[in-house]
Homo-oligomer: A and B are copies of this chain.
């Protein structure tokens, strides 16, 4: 991975619909060279997938919530996590440091959906000692973009 690869990654993170000819002019390479590099980045797993970014509001998931979980230290968490990440409401599930054990990022229709998810799904799992949900009033930034070039400063 050299500077050109990193530049390609950054460009594609912003707009993956650009053609190889456009990418080529931006990084100063031919279409074939860009093709070679992008294919290698895919093969190496550095580029994991191609996706679209969807407006959550348009598909009826306007509510973002974070839910903290504290689990029973006497029990293992593997089954719990396995069940949690099956739910499409759960976008992220992180095992965290701090007073709680897990942080869930949820995308939901509304507060009623949040309530039912907590009572019907989370609390049904067992082994959970504490649930602390918090709602996003607004989101100033939400991206997955991580500059590949900034790793070099």
Give A contacts to B, CB under 8 Å: 1, 6, 9, 12-17, 44-56, 58-61, 64, 66, 81, 84-85, 88, 90-98, 103, 107, 109, 132, 134-148, 150-151
Contacts and interface: CB of A to CB of B under 8 A. Distances in A.
Contacts of A1: 58
Given A12-B52, A52-B49, A146 B66 contact: no
A76 to B, nearest CB: 13
Given A81-B140, A98-B134, A134-B97, A146 B56 contact: yes
A91 B143 contact: yes
B59 A54 contact: no
B91 A139 contact: no
A134 B96 CA distance: 7
A51 B54 contact: no
12 contacts: A9-B52, A9-B54, A16-B51, A45-B55, A46-B54, A47-B53, A48-B55, A50-B53, A54-B146, A93-B139, A98-B132, A144-B144
A50 B15 contact: yes
Most buried by B among A13, A95, A143: A143
A90 B141 contact: yes
A94 B103 CA distance: 14
A94 B140 contact: yes
A88 B150 contact: yes
A88 B143 CA distance: 10
Most buried by B among A49, A132, A140: A140
